[in-house]
Amino acid sequence: MSSRVRIKDVAQHLGISTSTVSRALNPKTCNMISSDVVSKVKRAADKLGYTMDFAAASLRNQRTYTVGVIIPDILNPAFPPIIKGIQEYLAKHNFVTFTLFTNNEQNQAITEMRKLVSRRVDGVIIASAFLQDASVNFCIDNNIPLVTVNRSIKDGHLIHQVMDDENHGIQLAIGHLVDLGHTHITHIAGPQDILQGIKRKEAFIQHCQAQNIQVDIINATAFTVEAGKRAAQHFVNNKCEATAIIAGNDLIAVGAIQYLLANNINVPKQVSVVGYNGMPFAEMLSPALTTVAMPAEQMGQQAARLLLNAIEDQDAPKQKVLLAPKLEVRQSTAPPPAQVTVT
């Protein structure tokens, strides 16, 4: 069995000092030497099969170079782009990412958090936070570097957070439907114990009132397809006259569309539907889903950046990064049905 390639082996191969190789391979110090030397060292390290000795680095720096990421639902396609952004950013800084999921249950979130702490992760990114969240409080109480992404808590000023501008996103959705001619819109709101559900509902009411749009509110019990189906059933059973639906997220929108189509209600000819999140493959649904798309991968990158800063300086002022969503118009929205004029 061949011995492990060390920094001094790379240095001997190139005929340079071990300190130069060490600086070149460290993201924090590589800017201290020329980019040509950094490139040469990295190529040689790859060729020789050098990998960082994290056990030794942990002893030197009192770090494990690991970060935990907790998401609410591993089956929700909105989260992989966020995880991708986090992992790719952290990998550039020699950190390894552990991703766990909670099934949207706070008790499981605490269980997963304790697993991460027992493995001495250097920090945590939480995408599963409730308005009042025990796992976030656990991090605050135990001085664990923390960033929330996509969700946050009621007292958001206590933590670093990365969010999309939901007020603007809902405004985009309403503006699109108004431009198509809709004057009566239903909002299927997400759970009201999650900040997203509250913020999107508040924004919907605010912007509809400003434009004299007639509104209906249906509260979904979860950000899931099944919750969307149940909300659409309520929409149909109560003979709602709205010609469009803005859903709290894409999965709710998918469930609503499935129920409407199964009950012979054409989408979008009879009812238009708009989702929120911009989940992957939304354009492959039938009909393709019009949605407000979060910059999910960028959100993950920003969360990783904030976390590394928090690991370096836990006393730094808490930051909130707000990123702009965009509207992706597809086939699930259309002008409302023509009104029949009786003469």
Q: What is the DSSP string of 107-169?
A: HHHHHHHHHHHHTT-SEEEES---SS-HHHHHHHHTT--EEEES---TTGGGSEEEEE-HHHH
Q: Where are the domains of the chain?
A: 1-43, 65-164+296-324, 166-294
Q: Pull the structure tokens for residue 157.
A: 């000023």
pLDDT of residue 219: 97
Alpha-carbon distance of 172 to 323, in angstroms, equals 14
User: What topology does CATH give the domain 166-294?
Assistant: Rossmann fold (3.40.50)
C-alpha closest to that of 29 among 7, 5, 49, 59: 7
pLDDT in tens, 1-52: 357 778 888 888 888 888 888 788 777 788 888 888 888 888 888 888 877 6
pTM score above 0.85: no
Alpha-helix runs per DSSP H in the chain: 7-14, 18-24, 35-48, 54-61, 79-91, 106-118, 134-141, 166-180, 195-210, 225-237, 250-262, 296-312
pLDDT of residue 314: 86
pLDDT of residue 123: 96
Q: What is the number of alpha carbons within 13 Å of residue 273 lying toward its C-beta? A: 34
Cα separations in angstroms, 287 against 17, 48, 329: 62, 52, 11
Fold match between 65-164+296-324 and 166-294? yes
Task: Supply the CATH classification number for the domain 65-164+296-324.
Answer: 3.40.50.2300
The segments of the chain whose pLDDT lies below 70 read 1-2, 52-62, 339-343
What is the Cα 52 distance to its own chain's centre? 30
Is residue 265 classed as helix, strand or coil in its secondary structure? coil
pLDDT of residue 208: 97
Q: Are 215 and 205 in contact (CB under 8 A)?
A: yes
- Strand order in 160-164's β-sheet? 96-101, 66-71, 123-126, 146-149, 160-164, 320-323
pLDDT in tens, 98-112: 999 999 999 999 999
Alpha-carbon distance of 317 to 319, in angstroms, equals 6
pLDDT of residue 62: 66
Q: Pull the structure tokens for residue 304.
A: 């990783």
pLDDT of residue 342: 40
- Strand order in 326-328's β-sheet? 214-219, 184-189, 244-247, 272-277, 290-293, 326-328
Angle, helix 296-312 to helix 79-91, in steps of 10 degrees:
40
pLDDT of residue 55: 52
